[in-house]
Structure 1
Amino acid sequence: MDDQIAIPCVVMRGGTSRGPFFLAGDLPADPGARDAVLLSVMGGGHDLGIDGIGGGNAVTNKVAIIGPASMPGADVDYLFAQVRVREGIVDTSPNCGNMLAAVGPFAIEAGLVAATADRTRVRIHNVNTGKLIDATVSTPGGRVTYEGDARIDGVPGTAAPIELSFPDAAGARTGRLLPTGRPVDRIDGIDVTCIDAAMPVMLVRAADLGYSGREAHADFTDTRFRARLEHLRIEAGRLMGFPNPAAMVIPKPVLLAPAAEAALNTRYFMPHDCHSALAVTGAVAVATACVTSGTIAAEMVGPLAPPVPITLAHPSGQLVVRLEPGPVARVQRTARRIFQGHVFARRAHVPHSILAA
């Protein structure tokens, strides 16, 4: 197999996402060469990633790269990559909180972190944002377990709980909770809130774009709506300080609507397709907006202040973000190890610069 490059790989589900996990030392250090390998592995250039292990959807075209910590106080580094197989782009601008749920178990089983009795805390440095996140993993007898009674909407069955704790999530990419300096901006006659907490997002009332906010994720197929939402997203990104948001997956657009059995109905876009559930980082951003005076979310839910649980409805059920003074946001997720072995990149896809390395 001289025309193929074998790379050690573990495929894991983290929360409501899935993708390959790599040790940083098993991939090229050069970002361009690394991205070429990832595109080859995931099947770049085809909507379904048919020539790779991409899953044909944004939630299954994600990659986690784990290595020794480069920040004091952290246990491991975690670099997230969103692979846009259709366009052949690897975007490392965002974090992914669902894939984050599997980082702790992966790091322990890879020998990067020593397990402790019953539960092990893994302090993760998210390289994308420079933020630290704590993951608490079930390790009875000093071994990772994936079996348990925790249930999260969007994933069948139950599994061992993994608690993610986001301390001081504000300004993950922009350095400011409200990057524009305002809780509400107006773009082409539409009110939006631009907020950056774990993930930069653009919040907009679903009703202002002709939706109820209770639609299934597959219902957002109208091309005029998608074009309008993308235009709003790009303009919001520019207001937030991103030089070329059209080439990035941030900010993420989120439609909001009142809910009977939750704080809000949410429909989260990645950024062009609606998520079948809800991104953890997006949920932290929306929950933070609920307690930030003047935002669209805060106006919808009324006065709230930490400590408080914020329940967000999404197409597959609900997700609860617990906001505590500090500020700290806590979310419960689950994960599962699915496959371990080698994945192959086509040598013809990889720059010659790494072939001699």
Structure 2
Amino acid sequence: MAHDDSSTFGEQHGVPCVLMRGGTSKALFFHLRHVPPPGPARDAFLKRAMGTPDPLQIDGMGGSRLVTSKVALIGPSTRPDADVDYTFAQCDVERDLIGYDANCGNISSAVGPFAVDEGLVEAVEPLTVVRIHNTNTGTVLVARVQVRDGKARVTGDCAIAGVPGTGAEILMDYTDTLGAKTGRLLPTGQPVDAIALEDGREVRVSIVDAATPCVFIAAESLGLNGDEMPPAIGGDRALIETIGEIQARAGERIGLYAHWRDVHLPGLPLAVIVAPAGREDSDLRARLVFLGKCHDSMAGTGSICTAAASRIPGTRVHAAAGDRLRGEVLRIGHPLGVMAVKVVAQPGAALPRFTALGLQRTARRLMEGVVYVPAETA
């Protein structure tokens, strides 16, 4: 278990933490009782611990990429229908920013194992069900964690694209996360919206909210094929600015921002560029952009929203998948491989009703100890 107490070491303050991989991301995990309350002091502490802002994050624990610049804060649940509270924080790398407005699906998959290993829930063998209240979205996720000898298992035969080798399967259930941020699966009430850009172009997009709000953009409308790799997308500043404007305008339309100009290269809604599949083992291709950067693989919450959107006729995702929409799994091709998301939808009067919406992940405890920050920051 993580160290119990904060400490002082010369001119620095030490805070217990655990470094965990969840899916294709890594995060520092803190017990809520060890960090400052919400506000500037907490933000300053977390950014200093991560080494933000700095492209290399050389003076902190971050790994110079958004997928390795994440934080999870875990505490006893404040809801009777959950076992733990979980707050996700995304530290920007180059900009002096930290955000709490969304959840990370990959890091969510490590919350269950952390709760088991830290004694926050009773370890039940061979499977412990952990109900996770994500405070960012106000929704409850359910993690099914394999347990042996009182600890979360790490070895197994579950392979996920973007992570070497295999690990113990963790089943994540997101059925309760429809309308996570806006209260509606289709926040605008329609599967396609036209967004007029400042340069006079009009882009038709789909805005969907499941696990997290996403704006789906057909690759061809951006002059892309859909098979571009992250450096090519991220290195095209004009393209990134266009995607950022689409995100901001979509965010204004669904009430996330008072005016689209108030935010530059936002995190929400996540931008997902979709195109028909280019290989037999996938149903469509996707490239995800947030905070002005193209994701190295595919965000967990973004994949959940993509799967939900695939079952809504008329959306950009539904059109990109086309006649490959068969069975109970959506296979999303991303830069590092293919992510499979289980999605079972029953036709409804207006929108489908989901009886299953989830994915397989693996997670592993990498290190536990004390992270130090200068005393004035702490």
Q: TM-score, normalised by structure 1?
A: 0.94
Aligned counterparts of 1:288 and 1:245: Cα–Cα separation in 2:
27
Aligned counterparts of 2:72 and 2:32: Cα–Cα separation in 1:
9
Q: Which amino acid aligns with 2:152?
A: V
My pick for the range that moved more, 302-311 or 197-206, is 302-311
Q: Which amino acid aligns with 2:248?
A: I
Aligned counterparts of 1:246 and 1:239: Cα–Cα separation in 2:
15
**Mapping of residues 1-357 of structure 1, within 5 Å:** 1-188=9-196, 189-220=202-233, 221-243=235-257, 244-246=262-264, 248-259=266-277, 260-261=279-280, 262-302=282-322, 308-325=328-345, 326-350=354-378
CA drift of 1:245 comes to 4.5
Aligned counterparts of 1:88 and 1:344: Cα–Cα separation in 2:
19
Aligned counterparts of 2:294 and 2:225: Cα–Cα separation in 1:
14
Q: Which amino acid aligns with 1:283?
A: S
Aligned counterparts of 1:300 and 1:336: Cα–Cα separation in 2:
34
Q: 1:70 to 1:245 in 2, by over 3 A?
A: farther
Matched position secondary structure for 1:22: strand
CA drift of 1:204 comes to 0.3
Post-superposition Cα deviations, 1:121-163, rounded to whole Å, max 9, x if no partner, equal: 1110001001111101110243221111111000011111111
Q: TM-score, normalised by structure 2?
A: 0.89
Aligned counterparts of 2:219 and 2:265: Cα–Cα separation in 1:
24
Aligned counterparts of 2:52 and 2:149: Cα–Cα separation in 1:
41
CA drift of 1:27 comes to 0.4
Matched position secondary structure for 2:264: helix
Matched position secondary structure for 2:174: strand
Aligned counterparts of 1:248 and 1:67: Cα–Cα separation in 2:
28
CA drift of 1:343 comes to 0.1
Aligned residues: CA RMSD: 1.6
Question: Which position in structure 1 is the counterpart of 2:4?
Answer: none
Does the CA-based 8 Å contact 1:147-1:159 persist in structure 2?
yes
Stretches of structure 1 lacking an aligned partner (at least 5 in a row): 351-357
Does the CA-based 8 Å contact 2:248-2:265 persist in structure 1?
no
Does the CA-based 8 Å contact 2:266-2:290 persist in structure 1?
no
Does the CA-based 8 Å contact 2:265-2:290 persist in structure 1?
no
Matched position secondary structure for 2:132: strand
CA drift of 1:45 comes to 2.1
Question: Which position in structure 2 is the counterpart of 1:353?
Answer: none
Matched position secondary structure for 2:91: strand
Stretches of structure 2 lacking an aligned partner (at least 5 in a row): 1-8, 197-201, 346-353
Does the CA-based 8 Å contact 1:168-1:328 persist in structure 2?
no
Aligned counterparts of 2:127 and 2:374: Cα–Cα separation in 1:
40
Q: What is the aligned-residue identity percentage?
A: 40
Matched position secondary structure for 1:285: helix
Question: Which position in structure 1 is the counterpart of 2:349?
Answer: none
My pick for the range that moved more, 77-86 or 181-190, is 181-190
CA drift of 1:88 comes to 1.4
CA drift of 1:68 comes to 0.2
Does the CA-based 8 Å contact 1:217-1:274 persist in structure 2?
yes
CA drift of 1:247 comes to 7.4
Q: How many residues align?
A: 350
Does the CA-based 8 Å contact 1:179-1:241 persist in structure 2?
no
Matched position secondary structure for 2:89: strand
Aligned counterparts of 1:327 and 1:281: Cα–Cα separation in 2:
17
Aligned counterparts of 1:344 and 1:247: Cα–Cα separation in 2:
31
Matched position secondary structure for 2:19: strand
Aligned counterparts of 2:38 and 2:244: Cα–Cα separation in 1:
31
Post-superposition Cα deviations, 1:242-270, rounded to whole Å, max 9, x if no partner, equal: 12443741111110000042221000112
Does the CA-based 8 Å contact 2:49-2:371 persist in structure 1?
yes
Matched position secondary structure for 1:256: strand
Matched position secondary structure for 1:100: helix
Q: Which amino acid aligns with 1:94?
A: A
CA drift of 1:328 comes to 2.8
Matched position secondary structure for 1:253: strand
